[in-house]
């Protein structure tokens, strides 16, 4: 038959079933020459209708189109696929025929595959006809049928044209109801054809050995213009009537000019690569690429016959299968995917061995049957490393959403090249879904670090950014997915990760609001008056969210909060709300307490709800509020029998029995003193009321007979014996005051009078007023200090009262936590009455009453740019360790107050961080500049106070002072500014330049600009305003305006000279003299529009436009202009005598 090259072929197909036409890309040519998209009809002149079902109804309209692989698909109602959606072809009416008509110069094909099955093994005859344009039969075949094919009742293929050929019985095409296959091959050069079919034992797989007709000569060689597939009994009356039918599924027409009879070259393998098609990190297939298209059926034969020997780790893979449509594979092309059962050992870096063996069974062939030779081939790693998991964790800082220490750990299936992942590329390399971002409000992540878990660099840990504005990537309520870019993260073979994985884990560890579990009264200073409520929560809470005014304590005022009160740890589940004491003993009080919802949250940001009012639990123990010595016989100074000490408590006690055997344990004295005399006796210890205990001393005869207890001794309760009504045990300390008839020291306290962080005095309190003139500092010694002195007015002291200050020379180093031993050697010091001298005492340990003080505050430049900017720091050093209160943007200006109305906060009210060293005596504040820089400056003073942010030592001394001043530097700019651009401007748009825009390499001080320092050559009247043309004050741009010229000049580029004068940058660096030629940035302005009548016929036919400067004719487009009421605008650069590229344009119109 003649196979002529086609030109334009309109395809009209009559279908009672879904049919698809494919083109083998090996023989692809002139596909664009077809007129495509034509409707397909049933029979001659039939009217399209609903999709047929084999019972006489018509099929729907069908459309032809080429797909991306050069395959012509014919689809009915969107249905395709063998054995899935199909139509019946039976003898009823005209539903018995599939007909394809080809117009033009006829059809050229390489082969046609037909897939079908029958409803009954004895079904009617099924014929295939190829006809020329006149209807003459070129090829006629009978695909079987009772009696008709060969007269013996056995259906098999028979051909008759000029010669006849009958297939062997083993090739009986309709002896069962399996899907069957027939291929018609055309020899385009010699007008020959051949028919190959499957056999009964292996339906659907072509048997090229036993079921091939060989090359046959057609009766009427010529171009094929029509192909028919018929259930022939409708025409001839044979068969089983309408009850049996053929089910047609797919017809493939392979077109091309190549002569298949001349193809004797077997296919070869050109590459084999590993495949992880489901991106789960395990390979489950190999992709084999051949030198030419291969027959998919032959590949299936090779799999069935064990021709492929594939091993991983020395063991054969299991479950080997062939899938002709895997990953969008096209039927019978040069690519084959062989799949096998996944195994956890088959990671994406695994490389199998491959052998194609010869075991004398059918195997892989090309389209015309040339067999692939046995071969061993090296497999290449083409499976990229896959993201196996991406797990989000909400770490120590428990906030909802991705906060500064939250992480995402991404695990990969194999070693990677560990590329740099940072804030600039992470959203591209690992793109989150839903247009979300890894970056926080400052445009950053904290880090992305590679590590090795199973193999090298297989784990990436991303730590989120710490800005207050969190990243938008999310785990809740719907987790984002992450898609790798397919470029950056690679294995050793260069395969790039490209899969998508869904985030697991969570950034939101807590969505449950906190609750209050207890309210407890406290007497923090142990003076017998409650001064705080200890509040315990169900979980840790964020101290910076606590606002004392949201709490109420009935009967008390002045509520405050300090995160380090009573040694509290920041952000734990306990806080102390302090208040002003009542002024009277009240440790038994249980005031009503409540909270009104405000700002307090847990660490995850969940708000504490309003509470009901409840009575606080009594947890304030009875306090010893006074211990007063009394001498009932003043004529006998010193301790004598009958002297007594009256101890008063803040509330009723359990009045335990106090005997000589336990008194020194229950009422412990300092200085190794005792209540007992040398006979280990006291006279008595009697409770005169539930709040008052009177201890009467004894004095046995002999020496030493008297007890050593003295005025000034400190009594410390044992915290066990003396209880209140709810069993809180007294545990405080109090000094013995009063007198046993002799002068005594009651208290000693260290002092830092000048608040410079070094102690410089001891405050001594006596049990009686002293005569200041009798004080001799030489009688005192203070271990480690010299230069002792005395003045009766030190620190505002009043002469001759019961207090003196012994001052001394400072040590030269910070020592507010020092408590040096104090010793007094009996000398001249007496009471004011002169009746008692102070006896020798000591060494005595004073109480620490010197508060921590700021001793230095040093600014340091973070290196970004001069001035306080993000990354700059101020390191504040205290004179002793503090309780390390939490310092944040919310409280820093309150607790470390700057003068000059300056602030630590940037334009977004943020700081970078505030971090204590381990000891608690050095605080490093890192600045931020999110929208603008903070105003803090070197030279500012810092004031500490007893407010919401307190700096106190371990014994509760609070720093209240003004430190002067911040030293160091935030960076100094010594580089003068330079001009980077000078541009002309026509600010009023009248075609005359009236300003130059001057751009500098840094911000300049507008107040330093003097317009007369500038000279715009050719123009006069230079002037300056900081707001010209919407300019912003003190940025890097200024406008120098001047008097316009007489004529249009937007094309002018004058020279601008600057003579050094007053202009400086923000640091005072002067701009040097310079000269610049201005760049033309003034747009041309249309000055006039004039009508023209060039042909002088009384009708305007053009318009003349005049601009303020020459314009480029090449940029003129007539379609961008319109002349109202006229059409057909055209432009000619030289029309009407116009000069090219001048300032005049003519537009002609109809």
| DSSP sequence for 469-526 | S--S---SSS--EEEE-SSSSB-TT-PBP--EEE-EE-S----SPP-EEEEEEE-TT-
State which fold the 269-378 domain adopts: Immunoglobulin-like (2.60.40)
How many CB atoms neighbour CB 890 within 10 A? 19
Residues 119 and 241 sit within 8 Å (Cβ to Cβ): no
Residues 837 and 792 sit within 8 Å (Cβ to Cβ): no
DSSP letters, 378-432, are: EPB--PPPPEEEEEEE--SS--SSS-TT-EEEEEESS--------TTTHHHHEEE
Check residue 164 and give its pLDDT: 61
d(CA 727, CA 619): 9
Residues 958 and 952 sit within 8 Å (Cβ to Cβ): yes
Check residue 208 and give its pLDDT: 78
Check residue 107 and give its pLDDT: 52
Per DSSP bridges, beta strands 967-968 and 854-860 are: parallel
d(CA 100, CA 44): 11
Q: What is the architecture of the domain spanning 516-615?
A: Sandwich (2.60)
Residue in 885, 877, 925 with CA at minimum distance from that of residue 903: 925
Q: What is the architecture of the domain spanning 11-257?
A: Sandwich (2.60)
Pair of tokens at residue 884: 């390390």
Check residue 311 and give its pLDDT: 94
Residues 418 and 385 sit within 8 Å (Cβ to Cβ): no
Q: How would you list the strands of the sheet with 447-451, edge to edge?
A: 447-451, 459-463, 407-412, 387-393, 504-505
- At the top level of CATH, the class of 979-1077 is mainly beta
Helices (runs of H) and strands (runs of E) counted in the chain: 5, 71
Check residue 567 and give its pLDDT: 87
What is the CB-side half-sphere exposure of residue 423 using CA atoms within 13 A?
13
- Report the run of H or E that residue 666 belongs to, with start and end: helix 663-666
DSSP letters, 44-106, are: TTPPP-SPP-SSSPPPPPEEEEE-TTS-EEEEETTB-STTTS-EEEESSTTTTEEEEEE-SS-
Q: What is the architecture of the domain spanning 851-971?
A: Sandwich (2.60)
Report the chain (1150 residues): mean pLDDT per 10 consecutive residues: 25 25 25 23 29 27 28 30 31 46 52 62 60 72 50 45 64 65 70 77 77 75 64 39 44 47 82 94 95 90 94 92 91 92 90 94 85 95 94 75 86 95 95 94 92 92 87 88 96 95 82 92 95 94 91 95 88 93 96 95 88 95 95 73 94 97 96 91 96 93 76 93 97 90 87 97 91 96 96 94 96 96 94 85 93 95 77 95 93 94 92 93 92 89 92 93 92 87 94 95 91 95 94 92 93 95 90 95 92 91 92 90 92 88 92
Q: What SS3 class is residue 545? A: helix
Check residue 722 and give its pLDDT: 97
Q: How would you list the strands of the sheet with 961-963, edge to edge?
A: 897-898, 942-944, 961-963
d(CA 1018, CA 1044): 10
Pair of tokens at residue 738: 């009063």
Residues 653 and 690 sit within 8 Å (Cβ to Cβ): yes
Residues 788 and 810 sit within 8 Å (Cβ to Cβ): no
């Amino acid at each position: 038959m003649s196979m002529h090259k086609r030109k334009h072929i309109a395809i009209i197909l009559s279908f009672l079933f879904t049919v698809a036409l494919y083109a083998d890309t090996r023989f692809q040519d002139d596909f664009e020459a077809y007129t495509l998209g034509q409707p397909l009809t049933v029979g001659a002149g039939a009217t399209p209708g609903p999709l047929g079902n084999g019972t006489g109804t018509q099929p729907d309209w069908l459309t032809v189109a080429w797909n991306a692989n050069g395959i012509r698909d014919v689809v009915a109602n969107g249905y395709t696929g063998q054995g899935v959606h199909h139509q019946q072809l039976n003898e009823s009416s005209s539903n018995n025929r599939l007909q394809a008509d080809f117009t033009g110069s006829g059809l050229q094909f390489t082969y046609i595959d037909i897939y079908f099955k029958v409803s009954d093994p004895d079904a009617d005859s099924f014929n295939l006809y190829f006809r020329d344009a006149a209807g003459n039969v070129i090829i006629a075949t009978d695909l079987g049928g009772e009696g008709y094919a060969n007269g013996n009742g056995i259906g098999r293929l028979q051909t008759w044209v000029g010669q006849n050929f009958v297939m062997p019985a083993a090739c009986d095409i309709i002896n069962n109801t399996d899907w069957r296959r027939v291929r018609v091959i055309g020899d385009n050069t010699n007008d020959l054809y051949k028919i190959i079919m499957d056999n009964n034992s292996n339906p659907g797989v072509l048997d090229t050995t036993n079921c091939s007709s060989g090359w046959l000569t057609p009766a009427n060689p010529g171009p094929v213009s029509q192909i028919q597939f018929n259930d022939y009994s409708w025409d001839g009356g044979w068969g089983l009537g309408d009850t049996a039918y053929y089910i047609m599924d797919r017809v493939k027409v392979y077109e091309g000019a190549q002569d298949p009879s001349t193809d004797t070259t077997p296919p070869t393998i050109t590459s084999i690569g590993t495949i992880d098609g489901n991106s789960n990190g395990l390979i489950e297939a190999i992709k084999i690429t051949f030198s030419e298209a291969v027959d998919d059926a032959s590949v299936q034969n090779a799999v069935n016959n064990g021709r492929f020997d594939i091993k991983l780790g020395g063991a054969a893979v299991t479950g080997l299968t062939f899938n002709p449509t895997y990953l969008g594979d096209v039927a019978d092309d040069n690519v084959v995917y062989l799949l096998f059962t996944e195994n956890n050992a088959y990671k994406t870096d695994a490389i199998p061995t491959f052998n194609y063996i010869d075991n004398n069974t059918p195997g892989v062939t090309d389209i015309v049957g040339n067999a692939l030779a046995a071969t061993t081939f090296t497999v290449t790693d083409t499976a990229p490393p896959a993201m196996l998991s991406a797990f989000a964790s909400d770490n120590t800082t428990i906030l909802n959403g991705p906060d500064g220490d939250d992480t995402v750990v991404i695990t990969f299936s194999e070693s990677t090249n560990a590329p740099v992942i940072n804030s600039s590329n992470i959203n591209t390399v690992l793109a989150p879904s839903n247009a979300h971002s890894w970056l926080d409000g400052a445009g950053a992540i904290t880090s992305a670090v590679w590590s090795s878990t199973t193999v090298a660099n297989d784990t990436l840990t991303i730590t989120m950014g710490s800005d207050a504005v969190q990243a938008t990537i999310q785990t809740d309520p719907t987790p984002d997915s992450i898609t790798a870019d397919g470029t950056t993260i690679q294995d050793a073979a260069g395969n790039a990760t490209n899969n998508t994985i869904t985030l697991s884990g969570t950034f939101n560890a807590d969505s449950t609001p906190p609750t209050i579990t207890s309210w407890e009264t406290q007497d923090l200073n142990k003076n017998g008056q409650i001064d705080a409520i200890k509040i315990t929560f169900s979980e840790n809470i964020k101290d910076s969210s606590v606002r004392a005014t949201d709490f109420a304590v009935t009967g008390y005022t002045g509520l405050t909060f300090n995160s380090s009160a009573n040694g509290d740890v920041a952000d734990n589940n306990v806080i102390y709300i302090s208040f002003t004491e009542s002024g009277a003993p009240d440790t038994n009080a249980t005031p009503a307490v409540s909270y009104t919802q405000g700002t307090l949250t847990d660490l995850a940001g969940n708000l504490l709800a309003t509470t009901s009012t409840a009575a606080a639990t009594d947890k304030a123990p009875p306090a010893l509020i006074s211990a007063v010595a009394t001498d009932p016989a003043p004529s006998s100074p010193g301790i004598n029998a009958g002297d007594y000490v009256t101890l008063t408590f803040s509330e009723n006690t359990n009045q335990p029995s106090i005997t000589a055997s336990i008194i020194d344990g229950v009422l412990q004295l300092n200085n190794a003193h005792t209540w007992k005399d040398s006979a280990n006796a006291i006279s008595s210890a009697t409770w005169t009321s539930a709040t008052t205990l009177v201890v009467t001393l004894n004095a046995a005869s002999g020496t030493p007979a008297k007890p050593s207890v003295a005025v000034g001794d400190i009594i410390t309760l044992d915290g066990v014996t003396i209880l209140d009504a709810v069993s809180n045990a007294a545990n405080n300390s109090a000094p013995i005051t009063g007198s046993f008839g002799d002068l005594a020291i009651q208290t000693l306290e260290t002092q830092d009078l000048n608040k410079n962080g070094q102690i410089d005095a001891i405050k001594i309190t006596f049990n009686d007023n002293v005569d200041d003139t009798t004080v001799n500092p030489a009688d005192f010694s203070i271990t480690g200090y010299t230069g002792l002195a005395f003045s009766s007015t030190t620190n505002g002291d009043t002469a001759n009262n019961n207090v003196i200050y012994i001052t001394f020379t400072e040590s030269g180093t910070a020592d507010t936590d020092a408590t040096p031993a104090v010793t007094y050697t009996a000398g001249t010091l007496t009471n004011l009455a002169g009746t008692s001298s102070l006896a020798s005492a000591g060494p005595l340990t004073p109480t620490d009453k010197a508060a921590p003080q700021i001793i230095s505050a040093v600014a340091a430049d973070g290196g970004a740019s001069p001035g306080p900017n993000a990354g700059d720091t101020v390191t504040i050093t205290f004179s002793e360790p503090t309780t390390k209160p939490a310092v944040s943007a919310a409280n820093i200006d309150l607790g470390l107050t700057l003068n000059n109305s300056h602030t630590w906060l940037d334009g977004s009210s943020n700081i970078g961080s505030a971090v204590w060293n381990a000891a608690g005596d050095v605080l490093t504040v890192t600045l931020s500049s999110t929208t603008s820089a903070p105003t803090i400056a070197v030279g500012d003073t810092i004031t500490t106070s007893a407010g919401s942010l307190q700096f106190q030592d371990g014994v509760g001394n609070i720093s209240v002072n003004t430190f002067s001043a911040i030293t160091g530097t935030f960076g100094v700019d010594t580089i003068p500014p330079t001009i980077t651009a000078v541009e002309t401007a026509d600010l009023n748009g009248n075609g005359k330049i009236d300003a130059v825009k001057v751009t500098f390499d840094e911000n300049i001080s507008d107040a330093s600009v003097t317009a007369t320092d500038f000279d715009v050559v050719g123009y006069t009247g230079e002037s300056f305003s900081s707001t010209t043309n919407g300019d912003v004050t003190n940025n890097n741009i200024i406008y120098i305006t001047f008097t316009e010229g007489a004529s249009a000049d937007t094309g002018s580029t004058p020279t601008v000279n600057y003579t050094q004068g007053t202009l400086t940058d923000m640091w005072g660096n002067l701009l040097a003299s310079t000269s610049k030629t201005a760049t033309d940035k003034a747009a041309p302005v249309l000055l006039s529009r004039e009508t023209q009548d060039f042909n002088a016929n009384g009708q305007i036919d053009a318009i003349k436009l005049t601009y303020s400067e020459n314009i480029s004719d090449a940029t003129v487009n007539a379609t961008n202009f319109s002349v109202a009421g006229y059409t057909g605008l055209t432009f000619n650069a030289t029309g009407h005598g116009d000069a090219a590229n001048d300032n005049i344009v003519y537009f002609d119109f109809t």
